[in-house]
Structure formats: structure tokens, C-alpha cells
Amino acid sequence: MREQTLKGKTIILGVTGSIAAYKSPQIITELKKRKADVIVVMTEKAKQFITPFTLQNLSANKVITDLFDVSYTPAVEHISLAEAADLLLIAPATANIIGKLASGIADDMLSCISMATLAPKLICPAMNTNMFKNPIVQENIAKLKKNGYKFVEPAFGRLASGVEGKGRLADIDIIINGVIKILRKKT
Ligand SMILES: Cc1cc2nc3c(=O)[nH]c(=O)nc-3n(C[C@H](O)[C@H](O)[C@H](O)COP(=O)(O)O)c2cc1C
């Protein structure tokens, strides 16, 4: 079956500090296969789980992390990235980034871009099952949904901690289908 093309689409992929960050190379590969331009924005904590070097090579674009990196051009990188995006995909999304977005906190590159972009946003949570069930996390998700953020539900299964439950990053093909569905509607 021919794959849906994402040619001409710029996708900002936010990667946060979840153990599931090791799956982000697969997400980049699937998006690139469909000819999307993928710009990776990593949090500082995400760098503990996967290297910018790997993601830069797979995406063929500079990986963005530091809000105050003087080498960026133009000077207000987070605004230009926010404007360039056809979609902001955050996968995996930690409880922390979900909390920051729901509270209007913009204290790093990814949260600033999220706040500044008018592009659709697709959030793919991945976390320990108790974290995911935490009423505050659930309230944050509900608040973001109310404000137009789209979510790909995490999956049930064996988590990194060894326990079974809901919290695993959704399957990559479900995430990619979510991206395609949003971008198809947008054009
Ligand atoms: C081994 C390990 C695995 C973690 N996995 C997750 C996770 O899957 N989901 C999550 O929400 N937080 C996870 N955390 C906690 C986050 O890394 C932490 O909340 C961090 O502040 C998130 O920062 P960020 O959202 O800026 O990337 C993990 C921490 C460690 C040490």
C-alpha cells in the first residue's frame, strides 16, 4: 500500500525526558519516509535518554534545545520555529511537559514553541501508570483537550518499571496515523 505523503509539511517533534524517548528515532524515520521536514526540539532532560547527535542525523536538521543559544539565526528562534510548524508533535510527552503546557509555563525551548505556535498540537503521553492516573495529570490533559490540543492515548502493557498498566507510549503507527489525520484535515 502506498504511504500517505507528508511532503511540504514541517513537523516539530518535541522529545521529552521519558524512558520512551528511545522510540523517537522510529518516529522520525516514519515521518521522513513520508517526506515530512522534521525539526526535533528536545528538552534538557530528554538528552539523558537519547542523544541529539542521533536525532540530528536521522532528521537531517539541527536539533534545537537551548532557548538562549547565540548561534541560532534568526535571533528569535522559538518564534520562527513556531511559525514554520504545520504540526507540533510531542512524543513522548512527560507528565512535566503536560503540566507546563496546561499551566502556561514557558521556561524552555519546547514549552515556548508550544505556547507561541498556532499549529495543531498532538501530544503522546508516556509515563508510569500511577503518574498517568494521577488526578492532576488527568485534569491537565482535560484542560489541554478543552483548548484544542489533540492526544494519542498511551497504551496498556508492561512499563519500564516492570508493572503492567496504562502509560506506555502508543504504537508508532497509531502516532503516525494521528499526524496524517490532522495534517489531512488542515489542507
Ligand atoms: C529512568 C527515568 C525514566 C523516566 N520516565 C518518565 C516517563 O516515562 N514519563 C514521565 O512523565 N517522566 C519520566 N521521568 C521523569 C522525568 O524525566 C522528569 O519529570 C523530568 O523533569 C521531565 O523533564 P522534561 O519534561 O523537561 O523533559 C523519568 C525519570 C527517570 C529517571
pLDDT (tens digit per residue) in 112-144: 999 999 999 999 999 999 999 999 999 999 999
Q: What is the pLDDT of residue 69?
A: 75
Structurally, at CATH architecture level, domain 10-186 sits in 3-Layer(aba) Sandwich (3.40)
| Residues above pLDDT 90, as percent of the chain | 80
Would the CB of 96 count as within 6 Å of ligand 1?
yes
d(CA 124, CA 29): 17
Take atom 2 of ligand 1 and give the residue whose Cα is closest.
19
Q: Quick: pLDDT tens for 13-25.
A: 999 999 999 999 9
Q: Which atom of ligand 1 is nearest to the CA of 94?
A: 11
Domain ranges of the chain: 10-186
pLDDT greater than 60 at residue 74 = no
- Average pLDDT of the chain is 92
What is the distance in A from the centroid of ligand 1 to the CA of 166?
Answer: 16
For residue 73, the Cα-to-chain-centroid distance in whole angstroms is 23
